[in-house]
A = this chain, B = another copy of it.
Amino acid sequence: MPLTSAQIATFHREGWLFLPEVFGEEEVELLREEALSIYDEHRPEVWREKSGAPRTAFAAHTYNEAFRLLGAHPRLINPVEQIFGEHVYMHQYKINAKSAFTGEVWQWHQDYGTWKRDDGMPEPKAMNISVFLDEVMPINGPLLLVPRSQTAGDLKASHDTSTTSYPLWTLDEDTVTQLVEEGGIVAPIGRPGGVLLFHGNLVHGSAGNITPFPRKIVYLTLNAVSNYIRTPTRPEFIAHRDFAPIVPVDDDALMRLARSHRQAAE
């Protein structure tokens, strides 16, 4: 299903779009199980909170079949190509855990701030499109977005290397306060299988999670092919160097894999 012109207009005005029920139970169940087994692995792509709980797993599309299919899924690739009017490649791929009880904060930031400063990305012609693997509730650390903040462009940021285990270019309190006075804050919530996409300059963050409910979200960072990164400084598994356009898989590829896994287990 392509985005409607109303959806595209909303995206350009508000800077974000939520699409409920894009993936079905079977597909999400497989991804959730695979995510847990990836978090159990000790490999450089899996980063942890101070508590030892998983924080994020990078590049799972390169070493896990289910996440490979998700990373080339037409329900994710097509909407972004539609908005950019261009083919896209995978700039970054993360499964963020926001673990039960110990999931830590993500300070207020713009994604493009990091892509530009750390990776040498020329323009904000890249964006995150994400898939909810667990129910995102008001109480388990939902993503908080500042609508329309993408119109502020690339804001001054400081490199925060101390708050969490993940270095991030973060915004100061005065800037966030002013943008929130203008645009407010929204917290998109919803069932597993929902999809959220947002502009690379949209200001966002998330609080910690003290509940028993984990809140895993997969983020594909899709970059327009012409906007490939020029001066990467981060490891290859964080900021990818394969700029080839993604060739989408069949729409039912992930569901077929889920069914074959289930049959093998029965």
Contacts and interface: CB of A to CB of B under 8 A. Distances in A.
Interface string A40-79: 0000000000000000000000000000000000000000
A105 B210 contact: yes
Contacts of A101: 173, 176
Interface string A164-206: 0000000001001100110001010000000000000000011
A132 interface: no
Of the four ranges (under 10, 10 to 19, 20 to 34, 35 or more), the interface on chain A belongs to 20 to 34
A139 B180 contact: no
B212 A180 contact: yes
Contact of A207 (B181, B187, B208, B212): B208
Given A173-B101, A187-B138, A207 B205 contact: no
A128 interface: no
Interface of A: 100-101, 105, 107-108, 138-139, 141, 144, 173, 176-177, 180-181, 185, 187, 205-212
22 contacts: A100-B177, A101-B173, A105-B208, A105-B210, A108-B210, A138-B138, A138-B139, A139-B144, A139-B185, A139-B187, A139-B207, A141-B207, A144-B210, A144-B211, A173-B212, A176-B212, A177-B212, A180-B211, A181-B212, A185-B211, A207-B208, A207-B209
